[in-house]
Structure 1
């Protein structure tokens, strides 16, 4: 959804409803008092922070206007410092709207986000678009055709619904049948996935009654480090010098009597005709024709587009995997090898065994070209590949209890130069280590890495476009068509459930065409969504790399132990193992090397085990145990990278107290 360009912008999120916040009228005197109070609360370092260099939030000021129905009108004033000497289109805000619920599988808490408004008092481009981004709604601000730089101010306003927690007298969540004694706002101003530095943060919470108790926490997930908080009406909170990975959570308790019956949202027509009976049959017939014709038209148009643009290109009259100018394997480093060479569309990929991976093509890139998707397993394989290349080591930590789970310690190494890393590889290393230091336990990344994963995947899509394997991002291509398809589906359901009665009110009770038109839109949307998945076509260069990748997979599953020289065996095992993980054939690759190791032992030339993976077993490691450990690591890390923190309706003041990142919702930011 995109807002129109104007001095003051208004938009509604895709999941938004019709609810509106109540109007409030508080004077400027209160704002001045709040500003003065915050200056007293902030540490002295906050003033100096404004002179900091590098990208970040120079200040973040927000007003949370809590309503009696449990919703909260949020107005954020963000002073953003863009990187010196660089231009950006604008900024984005990720607002969490879905969270796990009390560790219950298959259930989540939902915060409806509506009534989005954006403006820029400093004159920066303030067009905006609201879209789903995993568990968040992303508000992307700025124009793709305009740039901004320096320090800019953005005002972002939106309404979050059902943010309050009803609490009983003993500090437990109050259900609809319980009597709540208090109502709490336990909210993450920022989640631990916020990587932007924030020099000064000021929060003002307005409510129908004065708060009786407040708390504020800042730091990594689970931190109990307090930040400034003051109860009353309004309540105020402040923090300074928050760095990458620091969350900030605020907690305020109010008398339940000041609110309606609030509960968290947990998810698992006839009137007279004004057109006249003479026009009704014609309109009815037209609606039926449109309802039947829409799917036919959608199938014809999408079928034509898939045939003419959605099929992969291939070099004409060349063996798959070859490029015309090189006369050999496809260029994997992004250099176009055959500009203007004749190409054709369609046909099947002929697979010939390739004894090496495509030149210059990393495991994560192989995974992306094969299924046109940057999957989390491709990111996990990239970590393994970086370990093989000397950027880190992976140490297996076996649990001691019967029900304990294996964990892994990742240690960054000072070996190769970072200049040799691709952008997505550098972002991955910075995301894993970054502010956490050079030693990180994999489980520590749980619930904090999801937004970083999204950024890494975005860089991987940029990389395949840079290498000329796709003309545009395959994710973006699919997203455009699937978004259009879902728009048709949603429009059909709205017409089915709400529009039919309105049409009958206008045309007459005999009008039934609304049902046909709604069904036609729904079916058309399904066709567009389904065929839209096939619109991410590879270029001829991408098809050549795909053929080589599939040929290399064929080698990994058919390689014989006798084909591998003892002198190179250990190096070959490590270099090719990340590719085997991507292909899902790590066990087959390991069994081949188990036979190589046996033959080498018998010949008196025992193989040296890889040093980048430290096994936890009691016996000496072998290739099978290392491959099994790496395979288990890739599976576990995939789940860890995609996990998001859960939410609870319990009181933040009981059960050991609150902590940073422990509330509902949350947000993260960045520039683009």
Structure 2
């Protein structure tokens, strides 16, 4: 009486992987060792394999196989098995497969061998295992196996290309692998007869190793016949027959989403299946719960509880000096912004950019370079290229350092990275494809600086990287389970497993949750939050400042000092427009303003604040790209498109004894 064994794919631990590997090695050694088994002795195989394929109008095929099996002499076996392929990849398309539904399985033995059977889902194939574990057989036995495969025909257009269905087709083809190259049984005689609603117009037959075009015997008509002799272990056999599409109904391939090796559950390992599904559901829930709790308790910024936003105990009750506040703190809450008319004391533009988004971006490094020019460490000069398609370049000239200015470690690394090996005059374009490694070191020094100042307890990049790295590891583990867990578990438990797909997806989702929430684990200290509030307040001033608020005597100096901050905030145009109004007012009052000398404009007219700001903004954008740049590094027809070959059709089968 027929039964059905379903299987699942749980995750595979390292130990089990090693166990599977050991089993595979042991199996290989057994196959290679001299023994009395079938292939070594040469006395097990099929005396004959006779198949009748009755192709139906709906594209299904009723199969009747009469197998005369010769068991090894002197050995008793329980019976044989037939593995029928039901899932195959589809046209090399990722995550899509063709499905041949297998139904109506029946088995008998005219020679009287045990003919009980069960059908098990083995992933890409269905195994029909014939015989009883409590009975033995030997000698030569005959088995008759019948079943139905659905959607086996390929609709083909007049120019030999695959069609979606038979309404668009000129012909339909049966291109079927009688045996795949995984058939390791010797077959003395093979005969296949194909009956169809009409006679075949063209036939072909191929045999041999994978992709062999060695022909076997074939005749067209009604019926079409195919035959060969002496197929060795590993030889495939494929038959090909073409019919007018008008003789059939709605014929189309059954193409589905998913892995061609997937299967649909199993009674072979219910505990493993349940565990896999529990893990599939539990992993994302656990990841969300744990990471949510961590973000709430450790990932939110600290704030001083009893101080006005933007103030710190340094202005009142005192602090420890290591980022640990003396005042009471709380976590969370929104940042209250009050206008600040100057940047936070002692906080450079690059530091402002880092505290705002907790990242030392290349734009922060570019703004640092502009700030160093404002402070007198270098001069930036535009160089206009010649030609219609030429681009503006900039010359950077290192100047004698001002006596009253002190460089921070990351600022010194930036200057040395540009000038130390290139001289005191360097074009920005010369840094292309060579500065990326220096940029990484500068960014690392910037992260260290915000820790030194007590704004973070550890590098925000390190905090994010640790958690996001863990998320990627979990997701990668899910990917391994998803793509490699099924065959490993199948090797252990003897079947394909649906739970492995679910568990793999669950782990991938859990990893993505850890990765996403891990990006929020870079929490600022209360002192860091105070600096953030001051920085956002200063941004508010840069975007709302009015020309009438700025004294003519201070205008040029204020414009230059604050311009790098405007670049970081992305409001350089607004800041320049304000000073354009100041310049016009000063001109009307006969007090013309002196333009900055740290930036040399290449325009034809005299520079003004707007042109300088535009040039600086363009310099910032271009330098950001230059700093980060790195060098570049050098179901179709079997009768067309190169013809058919053995193993090139759909479906297939393999056999063995047990």
Cα deviations by residue, 1:347-368 (Å, 9 ceiling, x for unpaired): 0001000000000000000000
Is 314-323 or 279-288 further displaced after alignment? 279-288
Once the two structures are TM-superposed, the CA of residue 512 in structure 1 deviates from its matched residue by 1.7
**Hey, what's the Cα distance between the residues in 1 that align with 2:553 and 2:322?**
36
Q: Is residue 568 from structure 1 mapped to residue 557 from structure 2 by the alignment?
A: no
Q: Is residue 367 from structure 1 mapped to residue 353 from structure 2 by the alignment?
A: yes
- Alignment match, 1:286: 275
Matches within 5 A, 1:76-225: none
2:297 paired residue among 299, 308, 329: 308
Q: Aligned residue pairs: how many?
A: 374
Cα deviations by residue, 1:476-506 (Å, 9 ceiling, x for unpaired): 1110011110111111111111111111221
- Alignment match, 1:448: 434
Which residues of structure 2 form unaligned runs of 5+? Answer: 1-259, 635-658
Q: Is residue 386 from structure 1 mapped to residue 372 from structure 2 by the alignment?
A: yes
**Hey, what's the Cα distance between the residues in 1 that align with 2:307 and 2:607?**
45
Once the two structures are TM-superposed, the CA of residue 340 in structure 1 deviates from its matched residue by 2.9
Q: Is residue 535 from structure 1 mapped to residue 521 from structure 2 by the alignment?
A: yes
Once the two structures are TM-superposed, the CA of residue 324 in structure 1 deviates from its matched residue by 2.3
- Alignment match, 2:206: none
- CA RMSD between the two structures: 2.2
Q: Is residue 438 from structure 1 mapped to residue 416 from structure 2 by the alignment?
A: no
Is 445-454 or 395-404 further displaced after alignment? 395-404
Which secondary structure does the structure 2 equivalent of 1:393 belong to?
strand
Which secondary structure does the structure 1 equivalent of 2:524 belong to?
coil
Is 277-286 or 573-582 further displaced after alignment? 277-286
Which secondary structure does the structure 1 equivalent of 2:421 belong to?
helix
Which secondary structure does the structure 2 equivalent of 1:395 belong to?
strand
**Hey, what's the Cα distance between the residues in 1 that align with 2:339 and 2:279?**
52
**For the structure 1 residues 568 and 282, does the alpha-carbon distance in structure 2 shift closer, same or farther, using more than 3 Å as the test?**
same
Cα deviations by residue, 1:369-424 (Å, 9 ceiling, x for unpaired): 00000000000000000000000000011112111000000000003149710000
- Alignment match, 1:202: none
- Alignment match, 2:220: none
**Hey, what's the Cα distance between the residues in 2 that align with 1:509 and 1:384?**
66
TM-score computed with the length of structure 1 as normaliser: 0.54
Which secondary structure does the structure 1 equivalent of 2:481 belong to?
helix
**Hey, what's the Cα distance between the residues in 2 that align with 1:270 and 1:638?**
47
2:565 paired residue among 572, 579, 604: 579
**For the structure 1 residues 547 and 385, does the alpha-carbon distance in structure 2 shift closer, same or farther, using more than 3 Å as the test?**
same
1:491 paired residue among 462, 477, 493: 477
Cα deviations by residue, 1:508-529 (Å, 9 ceiling, x for unpaired): 3253211111011000000000
Q: Is residue 319 from structure 1 mapped to residue 305 from structure 2 by the alignment?
A: no
Q: Is residue 613 from structure 1 mapped to residue 610 from structure 2 by the alignment?
A: no
Q: Is residue 395 from structure 1 mapped to residue 381 from structure 2 by the alignment?
A: yes
- Alignment match, 2:616: 630
8 Å CA contact 1:590–1:624 kept in 2: the answer is yes
**Hey, what's the Cα distance between the residues in 2 that align with 1:460 and 1:363?**
11
**Hey, what's the Cα distance between the residues in 1 that align with 2:314 and 2:392?**
49
**Hey, what's the Cα distance between the residues in 1 that align with 2:357 and 2:446?**
13
**For the structure 1 residues 376 and 270, does the alpha-carbon distance in structure 2 shift closer, same or farther, using more than 3 Å as the test?**
closer
8 Å CA contact 2:580–2:609 kept in 1: the answer is yes
8 Å CA contact 1:324–1:337 kept in 2: the answer is no
**Hey, what's the Cα distance between the residues in 1 that align with 2:315 and 2:300?**
24
- Alignment match, 1:466: 452
Once the two structures are TM-superposed, the CA of residue 270 in structure 1 deviates from its matched residue by 8.4
**Hey, what's the Cα distance between the residues in 2 that align with 1:396 and 1:556?**
25
1:409 paired residue among 395, 398, 406: 395
Which secondary structure does the structure 1 equivalent of 2:394 belong to?
strand
Once the two structures are TM-superposed, the CA of residue 336 in structure 1 deviates from its matched residue by 4.9
- Alignment match, 1:351: 337
8 Å CA contact 1:325–1:338 kept in 2: the answer is no
8 Å CA contact 2:305–2:330 kept in 1: the answer is yes
Matches within 5 A, 1:234-273: none
8 Å CA contact 1:587–1:627 kept in 2: the answer is yes
**Hey, what's the Cα distance between the residues in 2 that align with 1:437 and 1:398?**
22
Which residues of structure 1 form unaligned runs of 5+? Answer: 1-268, 272-276, 649-672
Once the two structures are TM-superposed, the CA of residue 337 in structure 1 deviates from its matched residue by 7.5
Structure possessing the higher radius of gyration over alpha carbons: 2
**For the structure 1 residues 568 and 516, does the alpha-carbon distance in structure 2 shift closer, same or farther, using more than 3 Å as the test?**
same
Cα deviations by residue, 1:594-618 (Å, 9 ceiling, x for unpaired): 0000000001110000010000001
8 Å CA contact 1:484–1:528 kept in 2: the answer is yes
TM-score computed with the length of structure 2 as normaliser: 0.55
2:328 paired residue among 339, 342, 345: 342
